[in-house]
Amino acid sequence: MMRSRKNRGRRGGLGQNEGTSDSSLVLNAPSSERIPGVIKTLTKEKRLWRKVLAHNGNISTTVGGYVAGAAVTGSNAVTACSNWSSASALALEYRVLGLELEFFPYLNDQNSYTTPSPAYFAVCAYSSGVALTTLDLILEGPQGKVVDGRRPFKFSASTKGFMDALSWTATNATIGTTNTFGCCLIGAQGIAGPVSTIVLLWTVKYLVEFRSLF
């Protein structure tokens, strides 16, 4: 009887040891077998992150009183954002995934004048660093349209259909011209307004993706 109880105790002890042994197989496994998946996951999460950065500017008439066709801003201007240094400090590379512009009329709220101001504008997206500069080309360009500049309006552009824009750029450099996309604008009104005068204020938000190699 004593032996039987002893044997049962041993069997019970063996069962308990077996359970402990199963856990130990996980906890005491060689690091090469236990954590590569965890390290891979953490590394992936640390390597890529996104941040919105903002910038602002204005658009003025020429000495002739017109708003000339030109790029308002592009993805290569993101390094001009005031928070660029701190935002990019931990990254080695970056790319801009999209941008959103918001325009605000300036003359109607801030100035009095007798000659007509540019009230209508044409906007479109551009890619490959080639800004469109004539009314017809801008209207024919991607997302080309006429907007009423007497009230706020928005315009956005992204890397959609422009895969070169997804190339990575070192954080100590600006995006190359051929990889740049952005927004073009021109005055669509054929009547000259005040010369060398601000007519629009604008703000832009860039969606930036950063990459680190650690």
pLDDT of residue 116: 52
pLDDT, one tens digit per residue, over 21-73 is 444 433 454 544 544 554 455 455 558 999 999 999 999 999 998 999 999 99
Residue 94 has pLDDT above 80, yes or no: yes
Reading the block at residue 81, the tokens are 């954002």
Of 130, 116, 105, nearest in space to 183 by CA: 130
Cα 174 → chain centroid:
14
How confident is residue 114, by pLDDT bands cut at 50, 70 and 90?
Answer: very low
Percentage of the chain exceeding pLDDT 90? 61
CB 165 within 8 A of CB 152: no
Q: What CA–CA distance (Å, rounded) separates 108 from 57?
A: 18
pTM recorded for the entire structure: 0.75
pLDDT at 133: 95
Per-residue model confidence as pLDDT tens digits over 119-148: 889 999 999 999 999 999 999 999 999 999
pLDDT of residue 191: 76
Residue 111 scores a pLDDT above 70: no
Q: Give the pLDDT score at 157.
A: 97
Q: Pick the more confident residue, 187 or 17.
A: 187
Going by pLDDT thresholds of 50, 70 and 90, the confidence category of residue 190 is: confident
